[in-house]
Amino acid sequence: MSDTLPDYWDCFSVDYAAARQAFVAAATQRGAALSRHEHPTLKDPHGQALSVDVAVLGRADAPRTHLAISGTHGLEGAAGSAVQIGWLRADGGNPLPDDVNVVLVHALNPYGYAYDTRTTENNVDLNRNFIDHTRPTPANPHYATLHPHLIPDAWTEASLEAGARAVEAFRETHGADALFNTTASGQYTHPDGLVYGGSGPEWSNRTLRRIVDEHLAASERVAFIDWHTGIGEYGEPFFLCFNDEGSAEQAQAVHWWGADRVRDQRPHGLARPDYQGLVFRGVQQALGDRALAGAVVEFGTRGLQMRPALRLDQWLRFKAPHAPDAARDAQLRADLVDAFVPVSSVWRRSALAHGLAITRQAIAGVAAW
């Protein structure tokens, strides 16, 4: 283990294609077993194949696994990718305990990463897609009321102010927690809306299940991290642990990362939404009765000011093409990307340093579990 933080510019990449190349190179240098899951139809903006790449270090049949995913939310993947690349460069050459392996899943939503959006090729929020699609979808009755105000036809000061008034009226009537739950928990009725969970399993969903089946078949205990950005203080980690309250798995996460991080978290100071269809749940389901402890780990950016960025993502996708303006759209796109992965060296160094420390804690934790 190196005490020296890798240079952040060697870990963060300018786009999906560069990140994939850097990840594969770093994994290859460390002797990892690599596999590639190419999207059957889609290409990146350069005309190259989109893919989820998997690197396995350590024994393939090890009973203890650290599983880390980047890019569940597309463009947020630049941060998780940087942590994965940084760990490979800093620690990937060190021997793991014989009964431990590390499985790194790079760019789970490659379309979103390549095209600077949080959602998949079908505008599905992958982190709301892991529901049982054979059953009635979870209800979000208030979302339809807010939807017209969240994504205006035009991105102008007047339309944004009108939308803000409608959202504020909802908050005054129902409360801030209800507003957050409505706009974050997941909805399954508006395919062009926020946090749309889809009408069936996405390609990335099915691919992750294959990865778990292929690479975690022998895993009896799994330390899990799904890297994200947006929630929390600027450049600081924020944990969302979805193990059952009081469970042995939650106790493990507390032991690794601390009770103050794992328990009773209030994202943006609000009650945690009733998140539906999480990747965390999908991995749990794929593992069956085998033990999984872990968390979604966010790196904070703009706090509550993230809300306009979430709406801007959808607006650029569904509204901007009807009246394109190159100068406007370029500036708005740059703002969107910076909202989730700030270009600031302060933010990037902090995210990388925290990410390496959290990864090391997870690996040491699962080794001792």
In the chain, what are the domain boundaries? 8-137+184-368
Looking at residue 179, what is its pLDDT? Answer: 97
Q: What is the CATH number of domain 8-137+184-368?
A: 3.40.630.10
Q: Please report which helix (H) or strand (E) contains residue 51, including its range.
A: strand 49-57
Arithmetic mean of pLDDT over the chain: 97
Nearest to 35 by CA among 48, 46, 24: 24
**Three-state SS sequence of 141-197:** CCHHHHHHHHCCCCCCHHHHHHHHHHHHHHHHHHCHHHHHHHHHCCECCCCCCCCEC
- Pure H helices in the chain: 16-29, 77-90, 110-114, 143-150, 157-174, 176-184, 203-215, 248-257, 259-262, 279-287, 306-318, 326-340, 345-368
Tens of pLDDT, residue by residue over 267-278, are: 999 999 999 999
Question: Rg of the chain's alpha carbons, rounded to an integer?
Answer: 20
Cβ-Cβ contacts under 8 Å for 37 (sequence gap 6 or more): 51, 52, 53, 54, 207, 210, 211
Query: Quick one: tokens of 220?
Result: 């009896």
Cβ-Cβ contacts under 8 Å for 265 (sequence gap 6 or more): 238, 239, 240, 241, 272
Tens of pLDDT, residue by residue over 144-179, are: 999 999 999 999 999 999 999 999 999 999 999 999
Cβ-Cβ contacts under 8 Å for 322 (sequence gap 6 or more): 153
Phi, psi dihedrals of residue 274, rounded to the nearest 5°: -85, 70
What sign has the CA pseudo-torsion 58, 64, 69, 72? Answer: positive
Contact between 107 and 264 (Cβ < 8 Å): no
Is residue 2 predicted with pLDDT exceeding 90? Answer: no
Which residue pairs, CB below 8 angstroms and at least 24 apart, start in 322-330?
A: 322/153, 323/154, 328/155
CA dist 2 and 362 (Å) reads: 17
Q: What is the pairing mode between strands 64-69 and 100-106?
A: parallel
Tens of pLDDT, residue by residue over 233-260, are: 999 999 999 999 999 999 999 999 999 9
Tens of pLDDT, residue by residue over 53-91, are: 999 999 999 999 999 999 999 999 999 999 999 999 999
CA dist 44 and 50 (Å) reads: 6
Tens of pLDDT, residue by residue over 110-127, are: 999 999 999 999 999 999
CA dist 219 and 197 (Å) reads: 29
Chain centroid to CA 206: how far? Answer: 16
Is residue 223 predicted with pLDDT exceeding 80? Answer: yes
CA dist 105 and 288 (Å) reads: 20
